[in-house]
Chains A and B, each alone.
Chain A
């Protein structure tokens, strides 16, 4: 069993909804990225999603675009991100880490090389935003190395594609709650519930819901049917401007604590 599978099994056994915070690696302060990851876990994260900065994040809204730009301006790249995961693993052997990003950095780094280095660093899964199932053959070396391949489903995903998608996905299926970019504000929990119920006909993997969840109330509305909720833009926004490791950790705690409480309150 992988760390991701283990974690979802534990959550299911305890009837809990998982909390997956997303942060952009290297933002707000590159040197404090590892401290931030530990702070997220301390604040109740079940899995950490780490964004690999990319110059042209076409699926991201303004908040994550700017976080990417800030990180790139400070020289953050894939090599450093893997180094941070490796450092995180020295103190935390249990919390799954998923890298989320775009294909070009992997293409340039080399898929086989990335797979080897990511496994060695302790990465558990990879979610490549601009690599739909139809193009996923390039990611085969990652899969073969044991990096679980998280796939996305969206409100627009055709029913005919859900079968192959549900079969190919590893770890968990990431449901994009709204047709839009990350940080979009118009998510309806009732619509999402209908879609997630449909997804479950095609996969026995856990379903995490992301895009458009900003706070405890939003997360709570999804808890009754999602295996986990992903919160990214609102968290990245909350961290923006913090400069010390202590301040970053405090903001992460402050932001996630009410969400954790809401998810755990029946």
Chain B
């Protein structure tokens, strides 16, 4: 850890322009400057409004099912033979992932702004489902942009969104995955700014999204910090979470950032291996650039063209990452490492057999990293892993990959 990180107050970021050091900002077309300013103003008002916070807390408790437990995976820990592995069970939330923390919050902001229509982008479909869910609950119209490739590999979530009354719009440009869905959602927003609220699903995009989405997910770390002190009498030694855009990771990390003794490791999708070029590890293998409205680490070629990514998990298949993670990486406050498809799948199976938990493929990357970390620490050390989503949606992908007919 660098000396600098011990003197930085991480709660002071982003600044009023949405910058986390050299990262973040609002790199968008002129037409979006006004709606972003309107959203920033509305959100900053909500953030300080006790009535808003009370309503959000009520929804998180009674609709989402918070707090989610911290579960001590004793059998897995014994099997690994190192530190104790603990899971923050975001997979137990309503709709099956941490994504609902953010959409419940943004839906309340949208309602206060009087926007009757919600749009969202989705990769694995978890954010799409979470958006469709809150739209149904508040009676808002909802359109979800999803790459054709992702629609094919996440059929169950596509159907769930339709059951919830959302329109799923296939995106057939570019690599036909999450980044293209984001482009298309931005195009929709720019065309329908008057009545539409764009519900971004991760801590990327222009200001205020990295701030707002972080705030709504930071409940994960706030709860976890209190639960650790209550259940274990101390903070964990190390945190780990998977990082695509990075919302579940920042959600877990944020409340611990000023605890200098807590190490943080983000697990990015190394796909077929960082050396093969077929991966989605923007922080571990990318460089600073500009994508989707913010400066951050991106995967691109020497012409600045964003490159196609690969991951077995649709939710991590993204060539950028939230700007706050870029900031934490440069400061040395968090480390980011790659976990391959194979390692994630092995962790998925091990967790099924050792603990009876079927984790999402995205979260399985974090599980693999937790196992790695546990091996590096003594038995009395505590590794806290964000189990960000459940894996029901991935059963068909796994079966197909392992050539099993379902």
Q: Which residues of A contact B (CB under 8 A)?
A: 53-59, 61-62, 65-66, 69, 72, 77-79, 102-109, 129-132, 134-135, 151-158, 161, 176, 179-181, 184
Contacts and interface: CB of A to CB of B under 8 A. Distances in A.
Given A54-B305, A104-B291, A108-B289, A180 B300 contact: no
B292 interface: yes
Interface stretch (B22-30, B158-166, B268-276): B22-30
Nearest first, the 10 A-B pairs at minimum CB distance are: A77-B303, A105-B304, A108-B304, A156-B34, A59-B29, A154-B31, A152-B30, A180-B191, A55-B305, A104-B304
B327 to A, nearest CB: 17
Question: How many residues of B sit at the interface, in one of the four size bands?
Answer: 35 or more
B332 interface: no
Nearest to A180: B191
Contacts of A72: 305
A85 B186 CA distance: 31
B31 A176 contact: yes
25 contacts: A53-B305, A54-B305, A55-B307, A56-B179, A58-B183, A69-B173, A69-B174, A77-B303, A78-B303, A78-B304, A104-B298, A107-B295, A107-B304, A108-B289, A109-B303, A130-B27, A130-B28, A130-B29, A132-B26, A132-B27, A154-B30, A154-B31, A156-B193, A180-B187, A180-B190
B35 interface: yes
A100 to B, nearest CB: 12
Interface in B16-56: 17, 25-35, 37
Interface in B133-184: 173-174, 179-180, 182-183
Nearest to A174: B30
Contacts of A105: 303-305
A181 B187 contact: yes
B230 interface: no
A131 B183 contact: no
Nearest to B289: A104
Contacts of B25: 134-135
Contact of B30 (A53, A55, A102, A132): A132
A188 B173 CA distance: 29
Given A105-B305, A156-B33, A179-B193, A135 B187 contact: no
B31 A56 contact: no
Contacts of B173: 62, 65-66, 69
A104 B31 CA distance: 19
B306 interface: yes
Interface of B: 17, 25-35, 37, 173-174, 179-180, 182-183, 186-187, 190-191, 193-194, 287-293, 295, 298, 300, 302-307
A155 B31 contact: yes
A266 B291 CA distance: 45
A136 to B, nearest CB: 10
Contact of B289 (A78, A107, A132, A176): A107
Nearest to B27: A130
B197 to A, nearest CB: 15
Given A59-B190, A156-B193, A181-B190, A129 B29 contact: yes
A161 B37 CA distance: 11
A180 B35 CA distance: 13
A108 B293 contact: no
